[in-house]
Amino acid sequence: MSAPPQTGTTLKRAAEGARDRASAYVAGLQAEDGHWCAELTADATLESDYVLFQLWLYPPENGQWQPETAPLIAKAVRSILDRQLPDGGFNIYAAGPSEVSASVKAYAALKLGGLPADHPAMARLRNRILELGGVQAANSYVKINLSLFGLFPRRYCPNIPPEAALLPFGLPYRIASWARAILLPLSVVHAANPSRPVPQGFTLDELWLPGASPAFRKDAAWFTWRNFFLAIDGALKWWERHGSAAIRRKATGKAEQWIVERLAHSDGLGAIYPPMMYSVMALDVLGYREDHPVRAEALRQFNRLMVDRGGRFFFQPCFSPVWDTAIAAYALEQAAPGNPAIRRAADWLLAREIRRKGDWSVNRPRTEPSGWAFEYVNEFYPDIDDTAMVLLALSQSGSPAPQRALDWMLAMQSRDGGWAAFDADNNWQFLSKVPFADHNAMLDPTCADITGRVLEALAAHGVEPRHPAVRRGVQWLVRNQEADGSWYGRWGVAYIYGACFALRGLAAAGESDREAHILRAGEWLRSIQNADGGWGESCASYDRGAFVPAPSTPSQTAWAILGLIAGGDAGSLSVRHGIEYLVDAQRPEGTWEEHLATGTGFPKVFYLNYHLYKDYFPLLALAAFVKARNETD
């Protein structure tokens, strides 16, 4: 690390130079139509799932993959192997430990892809899986996928009945939108009880840990929600054998209608990998031909997630154009007001406002539709986080935001005062005890990062601090602060992310930086700074339920600086050292490098690398620092 600039005027000038280089770099990435969309990457599980999906679509003949499929399977195998850890397993985030579900998926995919069981990589992987508890220790999501091919006993998988589509009072809408989009098509597949062919003699018997039961383990207490739902699961398995065929047909028909309706107004069901994959499977078991327009389009949208170029092969979990465009435009507004890229971005965003009632309207039926989705087209699923970020971007772009978007966001406030991602009041905690919920993604509760961003967006559009919704949001943040002064960040890793956007929201809502909760948060951020001047946090924070340090990253350093400045600290040594870190780590072309995951899909299960986080968040932090110094000089 070269000698950093010192303090005072020298540091401010260095920050201005870094800001301007970053502005030029980010603006240069804008597409001709005005939007940004960087790569979004994850772990090897997507490529592993892809191999199983190809087994569904194009079963091998005489033990050989079909000619049109074989080259892609070979690329997937190479992509998976490239990420194998020295201990033989696979992790779910960079620098993380081996994880059993990811490792089981990888083993199945590699073996299906042609690697023999005695291959050194397979032997190391098998041994690691057995050390982690064997296939019995994998989550239900993995077991269900394997059961579709007879590779795991169906009787040890949770039952997913399509009759859920018939439940009254909007009960399917009490689970998170992404879980709903997975479970409805998966229930159709599960009810059909398909037995897809696998190569003759192919099994995963070697992954079974001797003596470990595959059955769900009951709690010791007589009544717990887990035990209750396990009893329900037993009843559903009985229903599957003896229940009414007429009711099942009706339920399957309603689930089909639900799926097809949403496919018509999205780039794939939910516009995210798992439901997009399961929707194709569901259409198959429902009898849709390969050339049926609905089925063909569903598969086309799934295949768009594939990146196959320049020797690189991987799948993106989805696309992030609205998110990237809103943050990039907002950062440019703060750093380079008047940049022509800002107006082009605003026009692109305004054209993508959603005007259709989606799943959210079940709980808010009288609210006029508005908002923005994360992806290019996903009309049933606008989300509050993207909507708040778009409104922030529009607030200084010269393009006025529609009032209905603000009204929609206000209407989506939950009763507890906070905001969640896709729905309001999606917080029935007992549902997290259903057998399928071990993938940790059944609910969409309110969270600090989104609540803070919404408060910031409301303030940017003139909503006064005394507004009841603002006061309730502030109270939610104060009430949900961690004992150490941080906040739990749901959609970014992790407590640094939560602290940053909680502090920005509180500042925008008019909270004094002398309040105890603000001071405690600032002290916490300063206390976790790394020796190199930056900040870093591991995804392991979610497993431990508390901050776990990691090497510094540009995005997390930027979040910490933004949080400190929002809390009234623009001149401490911590902030200066953080700015020095960003200035020194910047590459000549104005970008930064970042290899660790700082985005969160599902805590403890799935993490994301947003490939523009390393650029537009440092740009925003540098702009905030320069602005704060200008105000005090």
**pLDDT score, position 233:** 79
- Mention every residue, 6+ apart, whose C-beta is less than 8 A from residue 379: 265, 266, 354, 356, 358, 373
Residue 47 token pair: 């490529």
CA angle 493, 499, 505 (to 5 degrees): 120
Q: Is the pLDDT of residue 486 over 70?
A: yes
Beta bridge partners of 314: 307
d(CA 503, CA 486): 10
Beta bridge partners of 61: 64
Active site residues: 385
pLDDT tens-digit series, residues 367-394: 999 999 999 999 999 999 999 999 999 9
Strands (DSSP E) contained in 185-280 are none
**pLDDT score, position 150:** 93
Strands 312-315, 599-602: pairing is unpaired
Task: Name the pLDDT band for 217 (thresholds 50, 70, 90).
Answer: confident
**pLDDT score, position 1:** 41
Percent of the chain clearing pLDDT 70 (strictly above): 98
Residues 151-172, mean pLDDT to the nearest whole number: 88
pLDDT tens-digit series, residues 318-350: 999 999 999 999 999 999 999 999 999 999 999
**pLDDT score, position 170:** 79
**pLDDT score, position 193:** 85
Residues 24-45, mean pLDDT to the nearest whole number: 98
- Mention every residue, 6+ apart, whose C-beta is less than 8 A from residue 61: none
d(CA 342, CA 248): 52
State the average pLDDT for the chain: 94
d(CA 385, CA 419): 9
pLDDT tens-digit series, residues 579-614: 999 999 999 999 999 999 999 999 999 999 999 999
**Best CATH choice for the domain 45-315 from the list 1.50.10.20, 3.40.47.10, 1.10.1200.10, 1.10.150.120:** 1.50.10.20
Whether 363 contacts 357, CB under 8 Å: no
More confident residue, 196 or 142: 142
pLDDT tens-digit series, residues 555-580: 999 999 999 999 999 999 999 999 99
**pLDDT score, position 2:** 43
Which of 142-146, 240-244, 355-359, 453-457 shows the lowest per-residue confidence on average (mean pLDDT)?
240-244
Percent of the chain clearing pLDDT 90 (strictly above): 84
Q: For residue 602, what is the DSSP state? A: E
- Mention every residue, 6+ apart, whose C-beta is less than 8 A from residue 330: 389, 392, 393, 396, 620
Strands (DSSP E) contained in 277-427 are 306-309, 312-315
Q: Is the pLDDT of residue 6 over 60?
A: no
d(CA 8, CA 194): 69
**pLDDT score, position 124:** 98
Which of 52-61, 229-238, 398-407, 419-428 shows the lowest per-residue confidence on average (mean pLDDT)?
229-238
Residue 368: burial class (beta carbons within 10 Å; 0-12, 13-18, 19+): middle
